[in-house]
Structure formats: structure tokens, C-alpha cells
Structure 1
Amino acid sequence: MTYVNKYYISDTHLGHERMLSMQPRPFGTIEEHDEYIIESWNSVVSDGDIVYHLGDFAFGLSRDADRIRAIFDRLKGLKYLIIGNHDVDKRGNLHPTLASLDWAARPEHGLRTTDGGRDLWLSHYAARSWPSQHYGAVHFYGHSHGKLPGVGRSRDVGVDVPDVDFMPRTFAELTAGMALE
């Protein structure tokens, strides 16, 4: 059996041109942005690895559906989606383009898993409390683009957080310096 690494990332906003000026992100074009994320992703993730994407995968899903599918297919790993606010339509339904992608499991609004010998709660939004928090569980979230500090054993894993730097990161990387006891 092949050893599998787990990675975490959020808020890639592939195809979202306005992100270049809103955050700001250090790219001249959205194509440059997207290519950098693809190359960074594939530089650390192997085909058998797991990547948990904590929402806001792409933008312009109706207009650029074929482009989003092509990008998804280029990204290595078994991909799980934790649904973000830009992943749904106005009624809160998962966008059909995202629903048609080959996710490793059905996209969810939150997911409980384990990594590094710990329970781990994954969601797009930061929580003040989460399952098993009082028993050492860790919480990863996105959405806030580095502007909402974590509480206790929680943290933002968005691409625009400096130590994430547009690349999926491991549990060990994301919890380095975090008081886990």
C-alpha cells in the first residue's frame, strides 16, 4: 500500500479576476495566478495524496466551466471539497460545474477527519468551538483571507496566508508552533 500524505488549502478562487486587486494577490493576470497555484499544488502533491480544499475553489463557474474542469483535472491528488460561499448558487446549492467534478467524496459543508494523531474539523468558516475541541481537536478554516486569527487550536489555511503561500500544506506544517497540548 502506498503511503498517502494529506494536504489542506482554501480560497484558491481560480478564475476570479477581482481577487487580484481585492486581496491583493501578487499576479499580473488571473491566468498567471491560476498557473502558479497549479504548479505549486503539483510540486508537493502526488497522485495518491489527499487534498482537502476548504472552499471557494473557483469563480465564474457558469462562464468558464470547461476551463475550471481542465484546471481540476490538472491538479494532482484525491480532492475533497468543503463547500465555501463561492461554491454555491444564490439558493445555496452546490454549483453544477463543481458537482460534476470528480471529487473523492460528495462535497460537504464540514468534515471531521484525523491527522497527526488528532481529530480535525474542517470547514470553510472559522468556528469559535468545534467537535472534540476540549479533547485536543484542531480546526482548519478558510474564508477570512488571513484577516481572522485562529482561536486555540484553529487556523486559517487560505492560499493568501503567508505560511500557506498559495500551496497545499500538511498538518505538521500548519500546526507548527501551535500549542497542541
Structure 2
Amino acid sequence: MHFFDQKMVYSPFFAKRMFLNVAQMNQTMINNWKQTVTDDDVVYHLGDLALIPSKKAAYQQLFMILQQLPGRIVLIKGNHDSRALFRYLAKHNYQFINGDFKFTFHDVGCLLKFAHQQFFLTHYPMMLGKGGNRINLHGHIHHASCNTVNNINVGVDSPEKEYLAAPPLFGAPFSQKQVLEMVDKKRQDFQKMQF
């Protein structure tokens, strides 16, 4: 998401974001998340929450934004997420009425299984080799996609959202249904390219 990242505000080449300022970009992502996610949802955030200085005041600003976002958030560390930030969020973590914590943390990634497939959730794209039921959901590369059938860029700037009949609003997470649609459409594209 890159909250507070001044370089992302207007970035026609790197991320194709067109905002007037950081506040507008941040608020758009917050609003669109809120339109999509409920408190009962779990969102897997695949790294690079924000580009902020390693200072308590900056962590507090980001925490105030994250408190506005409904749902539980599983945070996978990206190259712009410091350990100090994760420690701050862990220290200020809180529980919902049902006992679930707002934040869960992973340094490298995690594995989800649904729809008879294994989904490796990481910040950086990873090479899985051949295997029909293994998919890497990743972020990091913003405006690009990996030229492999089993890698799906699920960042907010992903070009692979073009596979979707109804792409999510900017900053809104992808649903499981949308992920499966992207996987299916990318497989169809790759089948067309085989001789």
C-alpha cells in the first residue's frame, strides 16, 4: 500500500497512481478498504504497509490508520517494513470481542489452502517450479507481473487485476473469489501461448 510514500502519490510509470497528495492517497485507500472489508474478514497484507521514518510518531500515525481498517490483518514483512514497526504494532495490538487479535505477524510468508490449491503468500515473488496446484501470491513489484503462470501479483498496483471482470477499488484487498479468477485467467493466457 505504501501509506505516506510521497514518491507514490503521482507515479505514472512505477505504480500508475495519480493523486494530488499523500493525504488524498491515504484516505482513498482507507475508504476503499472500508467499502470492501468487514470486521469478520481476515486480510493478508503482503508487505510494504508504509514508507515512514523509524520514529515513534510515524508509527503512531500509521497505527491510527490501521485502526480504521476493518478486519483482522495478517502482516507479512516487506522490504519497507522494519522490525521496529512490527514490534510497535505488536506492543499496541488489541483483541476483538471474540478473542482474535487485530494483527498477526509473519517475517517471510504463510501458506493457505483453499479451492484444492496451495497459496504461498510472500512479499517477494518466488519461483515454485511446475505444479498445477501451487500458486504464489505476492506484492513488491507494483506495476509488473511475473512471466510465470503460478505467480499472481496481488498488490494494490498490480496489473493482473485487469484479469478481473470487476477489479477492486484502489486500496481494497482482493477477495478469494477474485484471486481464483485471476489464477484462472492467467492460466488461460499461458495455455494460449503454448505451441
Instruction: Compute the TM-score of the two structures, normalised by the length of structure 2.
Output: 0.74
| Paired residues for 1:1-181 under 5 Å | 12-22=1-11, 23=14, 24-61=16-53, 62=55, 63-88=57-82, 93-95=83-85, 96-102=87-93, 103-129=102-128, 134=131, 136-162=133-159, 163=161, 165-176=170-181, 177-179=185-187
Alignment gaps of 5+ in structure 1:
1-11
Q: CA RMSD in A?
A: 2.3
CA distance in 1, matches of 2:91, 2:141: 27
SS in 1 for 2:20: coil
Q: Which AA in structure 1 matches 2:88?
A: T
**SS across alignment from 2:152:** strand
Query: 1:14, 1:58 within 8 Å by CA — same for their partners in 2?
Result: yes
1:135 is displaced (CA, Å) by 5.2
SS in structure 2 opposite 1:178? helix
How far residue 98 of structure 1 moved from its aligned partner, in angstroms, is: 4.0
- The AA in structure 2 aligned to 1:143 is H
- Rounded to whole Å, the distance in 2 between the matches of 1:148 and 1:74 is 30
Residue in 2 that maps onto 1:4: none
* Greater relative contact order structure (CA < 8 Å, 6+ sep): 1
- Equivalent residues of 1:110, 1:121 under 8 A apart: yes
Change (3 A) 1:125 1:42: same
Other-structure match for 1:6 = none
Distance 1:18 1:98, change over 3 A: farther
Shift of 1:97: 3.4
Misfit runs of 4+, over 6 Å: none
Q: Does the 8 A contact of 1:72 with 1:101 survive in 2?
A: no
Residue-by-residue CA offset, 1:16-50 (whole Å, 9 max, x unaligned): 11212443411101111011001111111000101
Q: Give the secondary-structure state (helix, strand or coil) at the position aligned to 1:106.
A: strand
Q: Where does structure 2 lack aligned partners over 5 or more consecutive residues? A: 94-101, 162-167, 189-195
Instruction: Classify 1:113/1:52 alpha carbon distance in 2 versus 1 (closer, same or farther; 3 Å).
Output: same
- Check conservation: 1:116, 1:171, Cα contact below 8 A: no
* Residues 123, 94 of structure 1: alpha-carbon distance in 2 compared, 3 angstrom cutoff: farther
Contact 1:47 1:78 in 2 (8 A): yes
CA distance in 2, matches of 1:14, 1:149: 24
Q: CA deviation at 1:150?
A: 4.7
State the Cα distance separating 1:147 from its structure 2 match.
1.8
